[in-house]
């Protein structure tokens, strides 16, 4: 029986423009099993999970649970939990970490400030410091959301951890089950699909060097999906892979067609036309889906460098 992942791969479904969107990621270590809605169906107090979901709503912050690769029983584990926050918008990228024995302290965070990229609330609430270690590789392994995430994600996370790769965590949900194994790399916030251990190691190597790997990339979570596809298209067209060299300054239009303006730190600009299409033939968007669907795809129609006089238009 085919899975959503094998069907997507066999149909060569494009991945650019499919990353989850979040200007800031807030990650809480929670050992043990996870349910489909992990914040309220794990060994985390469900009332705390609901409160975190409510606090994050509309702020640009996405809350997820993480755990170390390996067995998932949480009996006898340390009461100290690792917490990370990462802001992904170019020009203000940061990653902070802390440890706490009281996950409820996350409710002391100013979520609106976190979403804007203000890291001070993290230190005030949790006493955290800038993360000076390796970048983080978050591998989606939540089989309760989709079995492909467990069948493909857990072996990938285990292989990476066994190989000595630092910063590897399992995470509850990154979206796009059909692209499993899916990986998010912080602090820059680029997501990857159909990942393999050797490709993730190259992505981590690039992140340590301040460089973005575009092969297998779904896009940056800092941007909405049309802009994700546009930014990746400019990277491919120009060969610019420096992590914070490009930013999205404007997205005009509405579905099914947008014009996205991408800027370089050196002053250059590009206008990218992106059109929303439907992936055909219909296919399972998730192994648990009762009906077939035609997932939206972001097709780049044109990439044009703008002259300075055009920028006022």
Backbone φ and ψ of 252, nearest 5°? -115, 150
Q: What is the pLDDT of residues 83-112, one digit of tens each?
A: 999 999 999 999 999 999 999 999 999 999
pLDDT tens-place string over residues 156-181? 999 999 999 999 999 998 988 889 99
Predicted confidence band at 310 (pLDDT cuts at 50, 70, 90)? Answer: low
**pTM recorded for the entire structure:** 0.94
Q: Quick one: average pLDDT of 102-127?
A: 96
For residue 73, what pLDDT is reported? 60
Judged against a pLDDT cut of 60, whether residue 113 lies above it is answered with yes
What does the pLDDT read at residue 77? 62
Whether pLDDT at 313 is above 60? no
Kindly report the number of other CB atoms within 10 A of residue 133's CB atom: 10
Mapped to the 3 state alphabet, what secondary structure does the chain carry? Answer: CCCHHHHHHHCCCCCCCCCCCCCEEEEEECCCCECCCCCCCECCCHHHHHHHHHHHCCCCEEEEEEECCCCCCCCCCCCCEEEEEEECCCCCCEEEEEEECCHHHHHHCCHHHHHHCCCHHHHHHHCCEECCCCCEEEEECCCCCCHHHHHHHHHHHHHHHHCCCCCEEEECCCCCHHHCCCEEEECCCEEECCCCHHHHHHHHHHHHCCECCCCCEEEECCCCHHHHHHHHHHHHHHCCCECCCEEEEEEEEECCEEEEEEEECCCCEEEEEEEEEECCCCECCCCCCCCCECCEEEEEEEEEEECHHHHHC
Mean predicted lDDT score pLDDT of the chain: 93
The average pLDDT across 217-236 equals: 98
């Amino acid at each position: 029986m085919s899975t959503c992942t094998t069907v997507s791969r066999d149909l060569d479904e494009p991945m650019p423009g499919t990353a989850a969107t979040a200007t800031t990621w807030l990650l809480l270590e929670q050992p043990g099993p996870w349910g489909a809605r992990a914040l309220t169906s794990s060994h985390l107090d469900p009332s705390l999970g609901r409160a975190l979901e409510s606090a994050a709503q509309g702020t640009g912050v996405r809350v997820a649970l993480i755990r170390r690769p390996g067995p998932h029983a949480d009996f006898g584990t340390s009461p100290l939990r690792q917490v990370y926050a990462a802001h992904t918008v170019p020009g203000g990228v940061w990653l902070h970490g802390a440890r706490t024995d009281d996950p409820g302290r996350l409710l002391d965070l100013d979520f609106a400030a976190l979403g804007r990229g203000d890291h001070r609330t993290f230190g005030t609430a949790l006493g955290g410091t800038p993360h000076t270690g390796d970048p983080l590789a978050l591998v989606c392994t939540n089989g309760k959301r989709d079995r492909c995430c467990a069948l493909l994600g857990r072996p990938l996370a285990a292989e990476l951890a066994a190989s000595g790769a630092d910063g590897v965590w399992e995470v509850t949900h990154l979206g796009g089950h059909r692209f499993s194994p899916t990986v998010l790399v912080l602090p820059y916030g680029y997501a990857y699909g159909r990942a393999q251990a050797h490709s993730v190691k190259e992505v981590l190597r690039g992140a340590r060097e301040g460089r973005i790997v575009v092969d297998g990339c779904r896009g940056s979570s800092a941007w909405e999906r049309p802009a994700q596809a546009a930014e990746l298209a400019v990277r491919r067209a120009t060969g610019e892979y420096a992590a914070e060299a490009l930013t999205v300054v404007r997205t005009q239009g509405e579905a099914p067609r947008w014009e996205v303006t991408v800027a370089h730190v050196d002053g250059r600009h590009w206008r990218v036309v992106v059109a929303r299409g439907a992936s055909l033939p219909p296919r399972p968007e998730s192994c648990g889906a009762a009906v077939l669907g035609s997932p939206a795809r972001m097709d780049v129609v044109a990439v044009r460098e703008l002259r300075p006089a055009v920028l006022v238009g």
